[in-house]
Amino acid sequence: MIANEIVDPTEQKDVSLRQKFIQVVVPIATVLLILLAIGGIGWHNYRTTRAGVLKLTHELLQSVQRYVVQDVTGYMGAATLGGSFAQDFISHAPVAVTRNAFYSYGATMLRLVPQIQSYYMGDQNGEFLLVERAPQGKGLEYTDLRVVDGKAIFHHDFYDEKGKKIRSEENPSDNYDPRVRPWYQGAVEKKGFAWTPPTIYASTKQLVVTGSVPLVGEDGLQKVFAINVSLNELSDFLDALKISQNGTAIILDSNGRIIAGHGFQSVVERSQGDPTRMTLDPATQGTFKRVYDTYRVRGVGSHPFRYEGKNYIGMAQTLPSSDHWVLLIVAPENDFASFARQSGRENFQFSVIIIVLASILAALLARQGRRTERVTKELIHEKALINTQTSALQQIAVTPDLLNVNGEALALTEELARITLASRVSLWRLLHDGMALICEDSFDARQEAHSGGFDLSRKDMEGFFKLVDTGVPVTVPLAAKDDRTAPYERVIMRDSGTSSLMLYPIRGTSGGHADSVGVITVEDARDPLSFSYFLEIVASITAIRFAGMAELPEANEIAEADAAKVQQLAPPRFDAALMQATTASGEVGQGQFPSVAVMVVTFSDPVMENGDDTSSLLPLIDRIASEVQEIAKRYSLFSVKVAGHRLICVAGCNKEPDSTAIWRVAEAALVLRETCMLLLSSNNIEPIFSIGMDYGPAMGGELGTDPRIFNLWGESVTLAELMAQGAPDVGTIEVTERVYQALREHYLFHSRGSFYAPSAGIGRVYVLATRR
């Protein structure tokens, strides 16, 4: 069969499915759009109708509110206006007619204003006058406070409705003093009209509120005129007010106590007649409490809310001519919008059908939209990634001495951490024999700190080194769970709290052929493989740097000239009093020495640490002293001196710079550390020492006559002792930055951060780990 005659049935099937898809979906989509439009119009009509009804409801409630406020204002205005009139009327009345003027005014107002319960007046001398409605009948009762036979009594005169005196009575006053009453003190303190909290009037058992106003009579005495206003008729008015089918109103004072309103009688019974307990009950008056809480936060106005699954309209308005009273109106929304709700419910049922049908089309459109959005986001992400990597490459390109093997290429790890969003990035160089990895630089992005100089041994991490030998990128989500990376996680990652690890090989030339020369480790990166292109560029640059690094010589390979200098040095000078060694002979120079290496070993008290008998420790101490002497001779140290718990070793006390002094002290420190560790552990004693080192100029010379004692002064001695005292752990060797700079090519160090010395200022501290 000719090739072009071969027919692929799957291709025809795909074309057929596409055609059916277009033929079916397009009409359905058109119908759904029409149904959606119908549903939208119905929903819009419902919302418009409901909004119009609610607007009309608000206007109706506002009208009712204005009516209630006006009525309550007129109700309470009898007290405020009457008080103002009485203030002018009585204060200008002659002294002789003040009593009659008060009774005449009070009797007239009680006949005309039904909500007034009584009038009374007191002055600064304790005199008291009262006119009130008779407890029984329609007459009036006049009362004044008199003193008879040295006793204060109340004298009562009773009059009928025509003003004819019926009888008189007297009863004890029980030490009544108007000057201590709240109505008197409130008016005097406010110097104007004042209201008192509601109280139960004793004679009528009705709730009243007292308004009082201060005045000064013609006799110059301070007086207070008071009016008792009954609140029962106000409650009857609000209870009978028809706001809506279920709408109610209530009035509260400034402290949230009920003054009047719907169901006031039940409130009085619940509080047992105590006005201070006439507060809103959340169980039966929850809607009013919600409106009142909203009013205290948002102030007066309309406050729609939802309570127990129902919508309500609440309104709050302060009442003028009152003591900060507030009128609350609550009406269910259904009282006004029930027909709109029924119509909306029917429209909603039809809309549900429309929505169900339209949701099919919406789902398809949403699916397509999500796909488009996802592709767009991926394109934006890729573009941003390219821009970021370009910026990072530009930063690396402008880094000075990037390929200089003697410089530090910090930009490589910093930019790599920024691009991969990793917690830490490290560059490891594989030694030519393949038995160790040396960290050239490690950047911790969280602390923004660089470190390096430490090494990993193949014998301790065989599985990890095999991963490096493969020369391919490897990603381990949980380094601690993988046997190949678990040792690396335990030694390097655990302290920083990282979990995932990626290894990217650094391939270069080794021994004349291409091979892995190192590895880049990336910890806790976000999708590091997506940055493989950038990683490859950094790995190539790093490979060039590694190619320029020759295998470092062993630390004990000293130049012949330096070795000759060591052989010419005088034997060590031991402390004759404490070490019991022969004092070295020879002339010692006096004055300034340019390159002195100082090591201070600080021991803690073994007796105190272990509680052993002192005599049992003397052989151990003697053994350590002998080993120190041997080490000093082996590395030609200039002086070894014991001072209490400190051992001071010095090298380089020559007039000319001695380039071998720091190396000899470093070697002595490493050997001394291992020796002390071994001797202490063999005697079941924990390490009780720490070592400090510094390197630099110092001043020294022999002092005294017989014997002459050599002593050394200078910053190097002080800093070495500070290093020993500040070592992070027992058995560690802490050194200054000068030691690090002198030995970094031959030894491995850990960075310890910064320290402050009183005379030297701020400097960096390192821990000497081992030889390279």
Average pLDDT of each block of 10 consecutive residues along the chain (772 residues)?
Answer: 40 53 62 71 73 72 76 75 81 84 86 85 90 80 87 88 86 89 89 83 77 88 89 76 79 84 80 81 87 88 86 84 81 72 67 68 65 78 77 75 70 86 89 78 86 76 89 90 91 87 85 76 83 84 77 44 51 46 39 88 65 67 87 88 85 86 91 84 79 90 76 86 83 88 81 74 81 70
Instruction: Look up residue 464 and give its two tokens.
Output: 């990890």
> 314, 332, 350: which is the final residue of a domain?
332
Q: What is the pLDDT of residue 570?
A: 55
Return the CATH number at 99. 3.30.450.20
Q: What is the pLDDT of residue 552?
A: 41
Longest dimension (CA), the chain: 146
Q: What is the C-alpha to C-alpha distance for residues 723 and 601, in angstroms, rounded to an integer?
A: 10
Whether 115 and 200 map to the same domain: the answer is yes
Whether 328 and 434 map to the same domain: the answer is no
Contact 629, 648 (CB under 8 A): no
Whether 674 and 762 map to the same domain: the answer is yes
Whether 732 and 593 map to the same domain: the answer is yes
Return the CATH number at 740. 3.30.70.1230
Residue at 103 is within a domain: yes
Whether 158 and 182 map to the same domain: the answer is yes
Q: What is the C-alpha to C-alpha distance for residues 748 and 740, in angstroms, rounded to an integer?
A: 9
Contact 293, 303 (CB under 8 A): no
Whether 589 and 520 map to the same domain: the answer is no
Residue at 69 is within a domain: no
Whether 208 and 241 map to the same domain: the answer is no
Whether 162 and 303 map to the same domain: the answer is no
Return the CATH number at 304. 3.30.450
Q: What is the C-alpha to C-alpha distance for residues 140 and 167, in angstroms, rounded to an integer?
A: 11
Q: What is the C-alpha to C-alpha distance for residues 676 and 730, in angstroms, rounded to an integer?
A: 11
CA 195, 197, 203, 204 torsion: positive or negative?
Answer: positive
Residue at 15 is within a domain: no
Give, to the nearest 10 degrees, the angle between helix 9-91 and helix 334-397: 120
Return the CATH number at 440. 3.30.450.40
Count how many domains the chain has: 4
Residue at 81 is within a domain: no
Whether 476 and 429 map to the same domain: the answer is yes
> 170, 203, 230: which is the final residue of a domain?
230
Whether 263 and 180 map to the same domain: the answer is no
Q: What is the pLDDT of residue 693?
A: 93
For residue 107, what are the domain limits?
Answer: 92-230
Q: What is the C-alpha to C-alpha distance for residues 179 and 183, in angstroms, rounded to an integer?
A: 9
Whether 569 and 666 map to the same domain: the answer is yes
> 332, 349, 365: which is the final residue of a domain?
332
> How far, in Å, are 32, 579, 584, 629 from residue 623 at the CA level?
98, 11, 21, 10
Residue at 65 is within a domain: no
Residue at 12 is within a domain: no
Residue at 360 is within a domain: no
Residue 65, classified by CB atoms within 10 Å of its CB into exposed (0-12), middle (13-18) or buried (19+), is buried
Q: How many residues are there in the chain?
A: 772
Residue at 468 is within a domain: yes
Instruction: Look up residue 426 and give its two tokens.
Output: 């490290």
Whether 207 and 325 map to the same domain: the answer is no
